[in-house]
């Protein structure tokens, strides 16, 4: 039995750290919680999860689950939630969770709240705060029924401590032959980068439409990021123009970041982009248009041509 069940995301080698932040929300909700890992060849991953204060690490490991196909995963998650009697099923707001958890919610006949950033407890009932309209507003949402599915925005919750006494690892037995067969994995194209992960980086440098092409983008945005030991981000316009891959996209429909320092190079500041950078502590904007909307959100605004300014910036950071 577990009050909450947390879906932990991994890349087949290790746990994706942002998915651990959902544990912090489970702790705030109260009651015991179990961690669920789904996939194949999960021994190492399961072992790395035993100290987060869970009642158990539940492992659904089978060759049929080697790839994250939503029809199979959702069925396993729903079945695990039922068997454990979990009232709240949680995950992080990643494309993975957003693919499988709403489907699991439907199988459980349960409502779902996406992108929870805080909870509020009042007279024994709980409401969830979440951003809407590209983060320009917050809604407070109440949910009825005895089961619910939530995804949490990792940047809004602290990472949990891993200092509890180890919990047991239990294998989740199910009939793999009964899983649906309507989806097939074909291929995956992932970049491996030496730069820090966008959603965990302390510094993010990102570029917009005026960066022209891949080479220019790398020469200016990439080098400035490297000088600061930071990650790279991009606007949708830069992604669409082929300057940067889609997983660099920051915003309403891209990644949500919360670095110490965010540097926006040639970015107008469309509401959909701002949605992803609002939680940055310091925002620097460099734009040649003094009226660019990004300046309304910038901590430091520098009006000018990025083609002149960025090389100077790289130079002075290197000199220091």
Partner 1 sequence: MKILVSFKSVPDPNDVAVAGAAVSTPKSVINSFDEIAIEEALRIRERGEATEIVGVTIGVSAVDEQIRSALAMGVDRAIRVDDSRALDPYAVARILGAVVKKEAPHVVIMGKQAVDDDSNQVGQMLAGLLGWPQATFVSKIEFLDNKTRARCTRETDAGLEVIEVNLPAIITTDLRLNEPRYVSLPGLIKARRKPIEVLTCDQLGVTVRPLTTVLSIARPPKRPAGTRVESVEELIMKLRQEAKVL
Ligand X SMILES: Cc1cc2nc3c(=O)[nH]c(=O)nc-3n(C[C@H](O)[C@H](O)[C@H](O)COP(=O)(O)OP(=O)(O)OC[C@H]3O[C@@H](n4cnc5c(N)ncnc54)[C@H](O)[C@@H]3O)c2cc1C
Return the SS3 of 121. Answer: strand
Subset of 25-54 contacting partner 1 (CB under 8 A): none
Closest to partner 1 by CB, 54 or 286: 286
**By CB under 6 A, is residue 307 in contact with ligand X?**
yes
**By CB under 8 A, is residue 193 in contact with partner 1?**
no
- We find the least distance from the C-beta atom of residue 149 to partner 1, in angstroms, to be 9
Question: How far are the Cα atoms of 56, 94, 132, 156, 206 from residue 138, in angstroms, in the given order?
Answer: 34, 20, 6, 13, 26
- We find the least distance from the C-beta atom of residue 93 to partner 1, in angstroms, to be 9
Q: Which two tokens stand for residue 18?
A: 């942002």
Between CA 209 and CA 42 the distance in angstroms is 41
Nearest in space to 52 (alpha carbons), one of 37, 66, 67: 37
Choice from 1, 41, 215, 300 touching partner 1 (CB under 8 A): 300
Closest to partner 1 by CB, 53 or 135: 135
**By CB under 6 A, is residue 174 in contact with ligand X?**
no
Choose the one of partner 1, ligand X, none that binds residue 281, judging by a C-beta under 5 to 8 angstroms depending on kind.
partner 1
From residue 237 to residue 276, the character string flagging contacts with partner 1 as x (rule: CB under 8 A) and all else as - is: --xx----xxx----xx-x----xx---------xx----
Choice from 47, 139, 161, 162 touching partner 1 (CB under 8 A): 139
From residue 69 to residue 88, the character string flagging contacts with partner 1 as x (rule: CB under 8 A) and all else as - is: xxx--x--------------
**By CB under 8 A, is residue 172 in contact with partner 1?**
no
Closest to ligand X by CB, 169 or 241: 241
Distance of CA 248 to the CA centre of its chain: 12
DSSP per-residue codes, 122-134: ETTEEEEEEEETT
Tell me, what DSSP letter sits at residue 220? I
Choice from 115, 251, 280, 285 touching ligand X (CB under 6 A): 251
Choose the one of partner 1, ligand X, none that binds residue 111, judging by a C-beta under 5 to 8 angstroms depending on kind.
partner 1
Between CA 21 and CA 231 the distance in angstroms is 20
Residue 297's Cβ-count burial label (10 Å; 0-12, 13-18, 19+) is: middle
CB 264 within 8 A of CB 238: no
**By CB under 6 A, is residue 238 in contact with ligand X?**
yes
**By CB under 6 A, is residue 273 in contact with ligand X?**
yes
CB 237 within 8 A of CB 294: no
Residue 316's Cβ-count burial label (10 Å; 0-12, 13-18, 19+) is: exposed
Closest to partner 1 by CB, 43 or 120: 120
Between CA 133 and CA 143 the distance in angstroms is 20
User: Could you give the angle at which helices 95-107 and 70-84 cross, rounded to 10 degrees?
Assistant: 60
Closest to partner 1 by CB, 55 or 235: 235
- The contact set with ligand X (CB under 6 A) reads 208-210, 235-238, 249-254, 266-268, 270, 272-273, 286-289, 292, 305-307
């Amino acid at each position: 039995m577990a009050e909450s069940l947390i879906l932990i995301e991994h890349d087949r080698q290790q746990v994706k750290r942002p998915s651990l932040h959902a544990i912090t929300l489970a702790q705030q909700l109260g009651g015991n919680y179990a961690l669920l890992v789904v996939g194949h060849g999960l021994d190492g991953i399961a072992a790395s999860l035993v100290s987060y204060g869970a009642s158990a690490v539940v492992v659904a490991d089978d060759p049929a689950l080697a790839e994250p196909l939503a029809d199979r995963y959702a069925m396993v998650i729903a079945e695990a939630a039922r068997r454990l009697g979990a009232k709240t099923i949680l995950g992080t707001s990643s494309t993975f969770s957003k693919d499988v958890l709403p489907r699991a919610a439907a199988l459980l006949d349960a409502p779902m709240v996406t992108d929870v950033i805080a909870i509020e407890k009042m007279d024994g009932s709980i409401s969830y705060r979440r951003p809407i309209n590209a983060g320009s507003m917050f809604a407070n949402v109440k949910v009825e029924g005895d089961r619910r599915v939530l995804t949490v925005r990792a940047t809004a919750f602290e990472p949990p401590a891993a200092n509890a006494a180890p919990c047991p690892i239990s294998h989740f037995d199910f009939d793999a032959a009964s899983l649906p067969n309507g989806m097939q994995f074909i291929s995956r194209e992932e970049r491996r980068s030496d730069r820090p992960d966008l959603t965990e980086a302390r510094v993010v440098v990102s570029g917009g439409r005026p960066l022209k092409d891949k080479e220019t983008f790398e020469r200016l945005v990439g080098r400035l990021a490297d000088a600061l030991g930071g990650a790279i981000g991009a606007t949708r316009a830069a992604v669409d123009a082929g300057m940067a891959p889609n997983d660099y996209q920051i915003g309403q429909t891209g990644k949500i970041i919360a670095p110490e320092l965010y540097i926006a190079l040639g970015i107008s500041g469309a509401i959909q982009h701002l949605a992803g950078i609002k939680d940055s502590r310091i925002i620097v904007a460099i734009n040649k248009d003094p009226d660019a909307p990004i300046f309304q959100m910038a901590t430091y605004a520098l009006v000018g041509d990025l083609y002149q300014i960025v090389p100077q910036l790289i130079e002075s950071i290197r000199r220091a």
